[in-house]
Amino acid sequence: MAQVLCEWGFAGMAALRERADVLVVVDVLSFATAVDVAVARGAIVFPFAPGDPAAALREADALRAELAAPRGSRGRYTLSPASLRGIAAGTRLLLPSPNGSRIACEGGERPVLLGCLRNAAAVARAARELAGTGTVGVVPAGERWPDGTLRPAIEDLLGAGAIIHHLGLTGSAEALTAADAYLAAGEALGARIRDSVSGRELIGRGFGEDVEIALEFDAGTAVPVLRDGGFRAG
């Protein structure tokens, strides 16, 4: 019987790829939101782990892709969803990200979708169709503390909960609790995400527009699916 499981971060991905038929990585602020904006316009986004600029340049060259610039760079595509609203169809973009991007690369042979609040309903439909009578694994990415350990992030909890709610499947206690959190937030969901640690950090750095784009509930219908190393519209 079809069911949904939910586990956090890198360890969660490692656990679920052994048990799930389809994997959904949730990184609301901001990797999944940025990719959703880009693939909806016909771009292809290649995930990459940050930290080695030379390796990123080599990978972008090998993929014939543009390497995303640091957030806030003028006139360039970056991890900021706002910077991708005008991306041209057919653009190939290598987009490093410390959490969602790296986790998405660890899905092994399983289909990997990318979920956020913008595309929760569409991703749930696609995941359920791909899984059939099997299991959907939802992986909220979370953030990292300075020592590198996982910091659960409420925006990813709520984004995962939205997808799990739309799946409408029986699920683990962890999955059902995430869905309950999403439903309990109700009309306060936007305010909670704006006031989250990640939301306040982005707003404080001048990226409040990125938070508002992330809160465009179900505006996205082009499901990001990882194929041949890049996310494309499914």
pLDDT band at residue 100 under the 50/70/90 scheme: very high
Res 166: pLDDT: 98
pTM beyond cutoff 0.85: yes
Give the integer Cα–Cα distance in Å for 8 and 27.
11
Fold held by 3-233: putative 2-phosphosulfolactate phosphatase (3.90.1560)
Taking the CA atoms of the chain, what radius of gyration do you get in angstroms?
16
Residue 44: closest CA among 74, 12, 66, 62: 66
Residue 107: closest CA among 9, 16, 5: 16
pLDDT in tens, 159-207: 999 999 999 999 999 999 999 999 999 999 999 999 999 999 999 999 9
pLDDT in tens, 68-91: 999 989 879 999 999 999 999 999
> What are the helix (H) ranges across 21-153?
31-40, 53-63, 100-104, 120-131
pLDDT band at residue 135 under the 50/70/90 scheme: very high
